[in-house]
Amino acid sequence: MIKTKRFGEWFEIIVPSHWDGLSIDSILREKWSAPKKLIHSMSMEKQIKVNGEIINWHNPLVAGDKFQLKLFQEANFDVIPEYHEVEVLYEDDHMIVFNKPAFMDTHPNSLHDETNTLANAAAFHLLAKGEIRKVKHIHRLDRDTSGAVLFAKHQLAGSLLDKLLEERRIKRTYLALVHGKLTLKKGTIQEPIGRDRHHPTRRRVSPTGQPATTHYELLETFRKEDLSLIKCQLDTGRTHQIRVHLSSIGHPLAGDLLYGGRPIINRQALHAAKLQIPHPFTEKLISCYAPHTQNHILDNFFKDWSHKL
């Protein structure tokens, strides 16, 4: 694990042995793939030092050097902060994970009008702590899906977390309650997903769609109710991916009327129960477990599975 420390607006990384010989430029551009605009801004504003000094960005660093970045300046919220009771699963100086309730959008469609989304709650949470930050969601959940959602608290963290998600190093595990009894204990669905031209919001398996991969594993079968509890992990993050894929194999989510589920509950039975993140700066693996406590019917099926995944 890489040793780090915060000093006010500055963040300090003790250069680890596996960074020995790298330059500031190579860390920003190659290792971190930071945006060019951000790199230029940090250079012009002299927001990077080594051992307290401004140095040539092409000079090699030595293990043990203090690599210092000015990351924690105030930045105006781009959404309206508003209080909502939302559980925080993990938080540090760079990122925050919330347990999103069902029936809440991840972010507003209109930044200046909507205030009832998770992004608004995130902004209020930081404001209450005296942190003025332009928070950014790294991934999203459907409005009716509950569970863990990751936000970045500054621009460089957002860029690094985006890269980790793209490289499939951030692992998302879902609990899903589906109709029917699964014949296979484990399986992988690799079917491209595209828009359904006959419906404004529905997606479907389509040969011309985007590649999508969902892995699933049977956890428990409820014979009396003709339901199965499964866990799903995604290699891709297409809109409605789990819902479309499970419906395509004849096991739609309970409550998911859009994709063939029956209305035994008032929403699709899908919960983002676990999120694993290799920390973008320390490289420590952060594991977040999101308890499900919002729907008594689903609670009976999900039980304590969130902590067993």
Nearest to 277 by CA among 181, 161, 190: 161
Among residues 105, 142, 144, 256, the one annotated as catalytic is 142
The CATH number given to whatever domain includes residue 266 is: 3.30.2350.10
Give me 274's structure tokens.
């676990």
- Count of domains observed in the chain: 2
pLDDT band at 305 (very low <50, low <70, confident <90, very high): confident
Which of residues 68 and 236 earns the better pLDDT score? 68
Interior/surface letters 109-135, b for 16+ CB within 10 angstroms, e for the rest:
eeeeebbebbbbbbbbbbeeeebebbb
In a domain, residue 157? The reply is: no
In a domain, residue 220? The reply is: yes
Kindly tell me if the per-residue pLDDT of 112 is higher than 80. Answer: no
Kindly tell me if the per-residue pLDDT of 18 is higher than 80. Answer: yes
Q: What is the pLDDT of residue 196?
A: 93
Kindly tell me if the per-residue pLDDT of 290 is higher than 80. Answer: yes
Domain end position, chosen among 17, 52, 70: 70
DSSP 198-245: TSSS-EEE-TTSB--EEEEEEEEEETTTTEEEEEEEESS--TTHHHHH
Domain end position, chosen among 70, 104, 122: 70
Q: What is the pLDDT of residue 129?
A: 94
Mean pLDDT of the chain: 94
The CATH number given to whatever domain includes residue 56 is: 3.10.290.10
Give the rounded distance of the alpha carbon of 271 from its chain centre. Answer: 13
Nearest to 147 by CA among 269, 272, 242, 253: 272
Contact 206, 276 (CB under 8 A): no
Q: What is the pLDDT of residue 78?
A: 87
Q: What is the mean pLDDT of residues 273-299?
A: 90
Q: Please state, in angstroms and rounded to a whole number, the distance separating the CA atoms of residues 220 and 217.
A: 9
Give me 307's structure tokens.
């902590």
pLDDT band at 297 (very low <50, low <70, confident <90, very high): confident
Contact 129, 92 (CB under 8 A): no
- 4 sits in the region (left: phi over 0; alpha: psi -120 to 50; else beta) called beta
In a domain, residue 267? The reply is: yes
In a domain, residue 259? The reply is: yes
Residue 28 per-residue DSSP state: I
């003025």: which residue's tokens? Answer: 132
In a domain, residue 200? The reply is: yes
Backbone dihedral angles phi then psi of residue 242, each to the nearest 5 degrees: -60, -40
Give the rounded distance of the alpha carbon of 164 from its chain centre. Answer: 10
Q: What is the mean pLDDT of residues 132-143?
A: 93
Q: What is the mean pLDDT of residues 200-210?
A: 94
Instruction: Say which amino acid occupies 38.
Output: L
pLDDT band at 21 (very low <50, low <70, confident <90, very high): very high
Q: What is the pLDDT of residues 70-111, one digit of tens each?
A: 999 998 888 999 999 999 999 999 999 999 999 999 999 876
Beta-carbon contacts of 122 under 8 Å, excluding residues fewer than 6 positions away, are 86, 96, 98, 135, 137, 151
142 among known catalytic residues: yes
Element (H, E) at 131: none
Domain end position, chosen among 23, 54, 70: 70
* Residue span of the structural domain in which 219 resides: 172-272
Q: What is the pLDDT of residue 266?
A: 92
Which is it for strands 48-50 and 66-70: parallel, antiparallel or unpaired? Answer: antiparallel
Contact 58, 25 (CB under 8 A): yes
Nearest to 101 by CA among 144, 63, 66: 144
